[in-house]
Structure formats: structure tokens, C-alpha cells
Amino acid sequence: MPFHPLRVAGIDRLCADAVAVTFEVPPELSSAFRFGPGQSLTVRRDGERRTYSICAPAGAAPRIGVREVPGGVISRWIVHDLRPGDLVDVAPPTGTFTPDLAAGGRHVLIAAGSGITPVLSIAASLLERSRAGASPPAGWLGRAGRRPSAGVAVLGGAEVTLFYGNRRADTVMFAEELADLKDRYPDRLELVHVLSREARESELFSGRLDAQRLRELVPLLVDVPAVDHWWLCGPFGMVTDATTVLGELGVPAGRVHRELFWVDEAPPPPVRPEALVDGPTSDVTVVLDGRRTTVPVPDGVTLLDGAQKSRPDLPFACKGGVCGTCRARVTDGEVTMRRNFALEQAEVDAGFVLTCQSLPASPKVVIDFDQ
């Protein structure tokens, strides 16, 4: 994963514990940093990496939303110490949680807390880019990584319903940006705030955005069969609750797109490769940027940890099965993926795995990061 020093063009405080950071991209890096709505940037500092979602609409300068998390060294530095003009090591955009802007259609977005960050980018891009006759921005790639063929105009105005759960009004990230969007697109954006620790005028909008509330709210405010795509982003509990409710409502799984922001469950304990050198190993071949490298990886060690010693350029960020940065395709052999909060079923069916969560399960394994 190549990192580039980008200058901070601006920092906006969103609420007490969150900021938005806009980066200046020099002309020679503009194509590398073109992003699709819903994608993320990885930031590196002192050997630590974190992935943050882009909140800007496609075609704008990259801007990430960062909320300070307890004990989070990088988020604390960004929220409290980073200043305009500073240089930050940033890797180009990644992620497949991104809509096909050329298709328009009806979209329902369900977000909680900082899960609003990619959802804001998706909502703004859909509303902005799907004005009748508008074309997707230069360099924009759709969900499957393909640019719509030349001359394909956007079909019509996309319609967006956004359910957004927070504790209180003063913890709402991007409150102003959302209100601006609503002002600009009053007929095509339905914005529903749900607050868990603050009374609202209706009981329906007070409380956690959990399965029971979604069971009541969604059929009341949305024509479920008419929705083309559902975008879920937030903590594990909210995303799984929403997935369950959409299943109950008969929504086909292929229309539901999910991005997790954090997982309460602890990751499986890491295993140090050195601890297992005397045990059985698998020959793992990694392909990245066209270069093949074969390394022995001890049983019980993840593909990423085992191969990183020889290939320090392998991409990763969270090492927790959440961000999807370490995704690669198994082209030979067998692996066991311990957990997966990032890949969709279609990707798993196509042979993609999270290398930070996958253990070798055959004597030879080949994984391709270039696919």
C-alpha cells in the first residue's frame, strides 16, 4: 500500500469529539486519489495505521471524518493536534461500499454515530450526480470498479431516505451538512434523526436505532419493495439488527450493502510467527503489484502476519476483520477465514478473503492482491 505525504488544507470541528480533515492533493497524485462515494483513506503515523471514511461527495477534495475513540492514538492526534498545513502520510482510497452513481434509483441509508461519514458521501453524491443529465465525475469508478460507458447519462434524480441514530443532538456529526443537503434537495431527501438519550416530539424517533425501532420505522416511512439499494453503516449491533429486519421485510440480500465501524467482540488473539517456527508450515505465495513472493507460514498464523516479514508492502489497516483493506483472492489452495465483517457474500463466493483473518489450510496457498 503506497503512502504519500498530503498537506492538510482544512480542519472543521463537527462536534466536541470529532473533526473533518480536508487534504490537498498535488496534480501528479490526482488520479491516484480520485475516490468513489463511500470509500476510505488510510492514515499512517509512527507505524500505526487507521482507515477513515471519506465524507466528501465524489469529485471534491478528499475529506475524512474522524471521531476520537478512547485510547485511539491516531484519532486523538487528528482531533486535538493536527493543524492546517501539516503533512500526513495517506494511502489512496480503498473500499467497495460505493454505489453506481449512473443508475439513480431509490436508496435507503441507515447509519449510527460516526457511521454517517461514508453515508454522507453516498447521499450527497447520489443527489448531486443524479440530477437529470448529469454525468458521473471524471475518473469515478462504480461498484464493480468499472466506469460507465461513454455517453451514459444519469437516468434521473435518485431518491434518498436517511435514518441516522445518535445519542443526543450535540453528538450528531455533520449536522449542518445534512441540513444543507435537505435544503438543496427537499423533494428527494428524507432525513430521519433518531436520538437515544434525548426526548423527541414523537416516541418513534426517541431511543436506539435497534431492530424493534427499525421494524416500526422502516415500513412506515419507506415503500420497501420499491427500494433499489440499502446502505447500512455503524456499529456491529446496528448493522446486524438492520440486516435482520430487512430480511424479515423480504429485501433480497444483494440489495443490502454493509460497512462496519467497530465491533464489540474482541478479535481472535494474534499469534507471533516466531512462536510456531518448529511446527508445520504452508508455502504461501503472495502476488502484489505483479511480484510473486513465496514464504513459509506456520499453521495458526494469518496469511498477512506470516507474509509481512518478506512483503512489508502488503496492504492492511485494522487487522480486525472490519476495514477490508487486506482483501485478496485465493487462486490456489485452501484457507480458513476466522471472521469477516468487511466482505460481502458475493466476494467470499468469488474466492476473496481477509488475509488478516485467514489461516492457511493446505500445504500450498496462492493469494493475489492485484485482482
Nearer CB in complex with ligand FES: 154/323: 323
Residues of this chain, 332-361, that bind ligand FES according to CB under 6 A: 342, 354, 356
User: Residue number with the shortest CB distance to ligand FES?
Assistant: 356
Q: How far is the CB of 343 from ligand FES (least distance, A)?
A: 9
**DSSP alpha helix (H) spans, 139-255:** 175-184, 211-221, 236-248
# of chain residues touching ligand FES (CB under 6 A)? 14
CA 257, 263, 268, 270 dihedral sign is positive
Nearer CB in complex with ligand FES: 66/178: 66
Between CA 86 and CA 70 the distance in angstroms is 24
SS (H, E, C) 312-370: CCCCCCCCCCCCCCCEEEEEECCEEECCCCCCCHHHHHCCEEECCCEEECCCEEEEECC
Nearer CB in complex with ligand FES: 57/321: 321
- Confirm or reject binding of residue 325 to ligand FES (CB under 6 A): yes
Nearer CB in complex with ligand FES: 127/318: 318
C-alpha cell at 174: 455533520
Nearer CB in complex with ligand FES: 173/353: 353
Nearer CB in complex with ligand FES: 141/322: 322
Q: How far is the CB of 266 from ligand FES (least distance, A)?
A: 15
In this structure, are residues 269 and 349 in contact, taking their beta carbons and an 8 Å threshold? Answer: no
Between CA 130 and CA 124 the distance in angstroms is 10
Longest dimension (CA), the chain: 66
In this structure, are residues 116 and 37 in contact, taking their beta carbons and an 8 Å threshold? Answer: no
Q: How far is the CB of 300 from ligand FES (least distance, A)?
A: 17
Binding pattern for the stretch 294-323 against ligand FES, x by CB under 6 A and - elsewhere:
----------------------xxxxxxxx
Among 326, 328, 335, 367, binds ligand FES (CB under 6 A): 326
Q: Is 89 left (phi over 0), alpha (psi -120 to 50) or beta?
A: beta
- Confirm or reject binding of residue 50 to ligand FES (CB under 6 A): no
Between CA 200 and CA 194 the distance in angstroms is 8
Q: How far is the CB of 321 from ligand FES (least distance, A)?
A: 5
Nearer CB in complex with ligand FES: 158/323: 323
- Confirm or reject binding of residue 56 to ligand FES (CB under 6 A): no
Query: Residue 215 — φ and ψ, nearest 5°?
Result: -60, -35
Q: How far is the CB of 63 from ligand FES (least distance, A)?
A: 22
Q: How far is the CB of 20 from ligand FES (least distance, A)?
A: 22
Binding site for ligand FES (CB under 6 A): 316-326, 342, 354, 356
